[in-house]
Structure 1
Amino acid sequence: MISAALYLSRRSLANATRRRLARLRQPKYLIGFALGVLYYYWLIARPRSGAAGGAAGLPGAGGEVLAILGLTTFLLMNWVFGSSRSPFAFTPAETHYLFTAPLTRRQVLDFKLLRSQLPLFLSSLLSVLIFSGGHFTPSRIVRVLGLWLVFSALQMHYGVAALVRQSLEEHGVTAVRRRLGVITVLTGVAVAVALILRRQLPEVQAAFAAGPAAGLDALGAILHRGVLGVIVWPLSALVRPLLAPDLATFAARLPAAFLVVGLHYVWLVRSSLAFEEVAVESAERMARRIAAWRSGRRPPPSERRSKGARRSLGHLAPVGSPARAIAWKNVQAEWRGSGVRLPVIIVLGVAAVAWVASLGAAAGTGIQVLATLLLVFAGMAVVFGPYILRNDLRADLLLWDLLKSYPLRGADLVAGEVLGPVAVLTGVAWGCLLAAFA
């Protein structure tokens, strides 16, 4: 089974690479490839003045605290705002051949886990290269392997969470009730942690007054004591190999991390949900989305999102500009079809950076980081926004017969279709710019 999975992964990678290289014969793909190479050269390999090629490691206790807080944030966001879609997405071909083959459910999961390790490893490698400025020293190998472990554990945890949500939906538990239950449990845990930290809070505040590094060190010491240390241990065991200063320390910290990953694997395999039904549904959904993107239109929204659409932003007057009406229709579609996860993540990220900026004497550094992030987000909205927001002619061309029946001029129709996403992206970009320079 393992050899078959490795062979299939190897041949799939080779065939995909060969197919993409063949596309370079077309000018549009060749230009895009050249721009991509230049971008990654500028991001990773370009020479930097004063760049240290050594192994400037992360601070021990402070880095571990930040890693634990970041990992906790990802897990909480997944449990509160996650969907029942499993991260182990099967293609229609895989569901057709694997589920009819003489394989057990565990073997199918093992196959998918093995095939997903190469993308996770490449993601870890690329992340380390980007954040290390292209200086790949021997200590960076520890970072790559440690991040690979974290990604693998997160993937399995997300898979288990998706199966749990699917099971609750089958038992009639709605998304609102599920989220209220999760929030209630998390609130109880937060209250318990606050009660535990109440005695140590003056010590932490005094340490943060001396500086963010001292504050994080004090918080890290508290997180490893008593009941709180038991609660945080799985997260700490998972991130500690990532922060190891050398290979010997990395090897010493591996058993605990492997234990956490192994427990996630057992939890995933022993899930009581009908895994095949979820996988087939996911494969059908993926096929619909791929067909939608290839046809140049936006993928259809999920059933849950269509049922829980947001309320309208308002109503237009019965008389007015046709272009404005079409633009308003597209803005409404984007508002009612978008989720709340990304805005919440952005708000939490900005709040976290603002909190760090308010600590210690180096507050100006945090403000500069916040302003830089807002400027980057504004640039991404301008560059990548038109590709993401597709509530324009790309989505409405499927209803071309209906559009032609409208008593509108072609100029008004095109202007309204273009104005909708332009208005949304302009608002996002200007909001980020005003916040950055405020």
Structure 2
Amino acid sequence: MTNEESLTASNDNTKSNTKNNTNSNKDENTEWQLAEMVDAIAAEIDRAEDTLSLKSYARGKSMAIKQLKLDIEVKLRRTSDGKILFRTTDPGENSATVIKLDFAQVLESQLQGVRKQLDQPISTRPLATLPGITEAEIKQLNGIGIYSVNDLEGYTQTAAMVAELSRKTGIADSRIRIWRQLPFLSEVKPAKGLPGSQVVIEGDNFGDRDPNAAVLFQGQPAQILEWSKSRLIVTMPEVTGSGVLFVVIDGQTTNLLSWEAISVDLRVRNITIIPDQPSAGELITIEADLINQGNSSSDAFEVQWTVDNKPQPIQSHGPLQPNQRSQDSSIRRQLTLEAGSHTIRFTADPNHKHLDLNRANSTFTRQIEVKGLNQLTIADFREINTLDPLVNINYPSADINYGPGDVLSLVFRGLGRLDPKRGAFVPDIATRWWLSENKDKNTRLISF
């Protein structure tokens, strides 16, 4: 081969290698989100800071990155789910979009308490030595600048840093804590419970019981009944609703687990009365408005009516679902009452056999006013001597006595009428009357 042929072959190989490298770079130039880019750059800066800190510690000199500015020419697109994706332009490609990033120096005071101290031992072990770690997890950690066990320790100095690392990598918080040999929670049994019930918390690395340890449900301390390296048994505090639980051991906070405090709240809202203005002896229907306002189903329970402070027989009531209004027959009752004021009371779970969120609203009291009957006396034949001035009159001079009369004749007194057959006056409704004429016989008088 001549020198010219050799040179031509060399140039062809160079072009081929350049083309292959360009194609390879294009294959690796994938889309990314801005947060991912910032995380990766921040991780690189943090690693550089660690290196400079070690050199400063060894040489007795202060070394730090003062500032880093990057201008990145990118292409961007918006996905159907609203995400903005960026891609760095390939060699020879132009774009009007440029991202300008300016990473100023992080003050040392901002790093205190969250970065690993320089006098702590440094682990040079690779991530692959961590128990049970997978290649995918190693790649996820590498993506934010964690390449060794020492890097992992530096990024997990506090519970908040562990949670943030879990969020960025998608690796479970408990997995990271296993690698770091930190206390962690894996499961709570049951995941829902009533206040005051026992709860089992499983995890690991709890160690010996710390006298200052605390198990917190929604920020409220629980009573610790049993403690082992991987299992806790506690009594749930009086909390309600959904929230989280965690454990504080040797001043370190574990990861969080979701928790829901279930509760039953049997509330009697009203008592209706039909008819609303009853009369004495009338059949009355009373009905209680009962609902479960809690967030969990109740068991079967008892109810009781009380009438004028006299307890009625206790009745059984079926379970109520959350926010379910009762239609049970035990909430209705029929009775008759005498005239006057009466007190009616309805109580759910009168003997407090079940846990209830608010005992005060489990009973309701109402007053009932019962009217007396309207009576009409249509006949009363008791004798009266002085009430009727028309009938109970004595005429001593005429030897006439028209009394005594009775109440019926007094109430229904009327006028006389002509008998159509005889043409003479006869009594109509009045019980006693008489007919007289004056001396001239030109006037007739009807007397009652």
Per the normalisation by structure 1, the TM-score is 0.23
- Structure with larger RCO (C-alpha < 8 A, sep 6+): 1
**Structure showing the higher strand proportion among its residues:** 2
Say which structure is richer in helix. Answer: 1
Return the index of the structure with the highest Cα Rg.
Answer: 2
